[in-house]
Amino acid sequence: MTQLDMVRELFRYDDWANDRVLQSVAPLTDEQLDRSFEMGCGSLRRTLMHILCAEQVWVRRWQGHADTPWPEEGERAGVAAMVDRIGEARSVRGAFLRNLQDEALARDIVYRDSFGGIFSAALSDMMLQLCNHSTHHRAQAVNMIRRVGGTAPELDYMYWRLRRTGGV
């Protein structure tokens, strides 16, 4: 498996895990989505919006848009709108990955973070940042889902792998 194959595999897992989280929050009320927490981005809705915004920002950075501003996370988007928007972001990411060659992963990209600092990183590291970032915030979202009385999804990577290969 090449490094690019591994990156693509991790994004397939991320897509599956994000879908499961969004499915599990669909029946929740606005009160449950907006309940205040001292973790994540302060509420379940804001944490989900943060995952979506990160997807949009990092892909634009990969595409060479160094000054991509961080989108507003305080929007009260409903779950259906979040599903649509993450689907759009996923489509843009998918098109980028389809046209990518393995050797491009070593390319350094210069970008500005949300605080204005200038950074340079290998494309592969930037891609892994997005995968790890989503995993971190999904864990917070699962904790919030449990705390508001929702049914938290199983998101374990090995569970996903074994289900895909027929091992479970």
Single-letter code of the amino acid located at 35: R
> Domain 3-165: which CATH class?
mainly alpha
At residue 61, the pLDDT reads 92
Residue 115 gets which letter from DSSP? T
Is residue 2 within 8 Å of 104, Cβ to Cβ? no
pTM of the model: 0.91
Give me the torsion for CA of 146, 150, 151, 155, rounded to 10°. -60
Distance CA 75, CA 115 (A): 20
Which two three-digit tokens encode residue 64? Answer: 């060479």
At residue 75, the pLDDT reads 79
Question: pLDDT by residue for the chain (168 residues), tens digit each?
Answer: 899 999 999 999 999 999 999 999 999 999 999 999 999 899 999 999 999 999 999 999 999 888 877 877 777 899 999 999 999 999 999 999 999 999 999 999 999 888 889 999 999 999 999 999 999 999 999 999 999 999 999 999 998 988 887 776
Q: Give domain limits for the chain.
A: 3-165
Which two three-digit tokens encode residue 158? Answer: 């090995």
At residue 73, the pLDDT reads 76
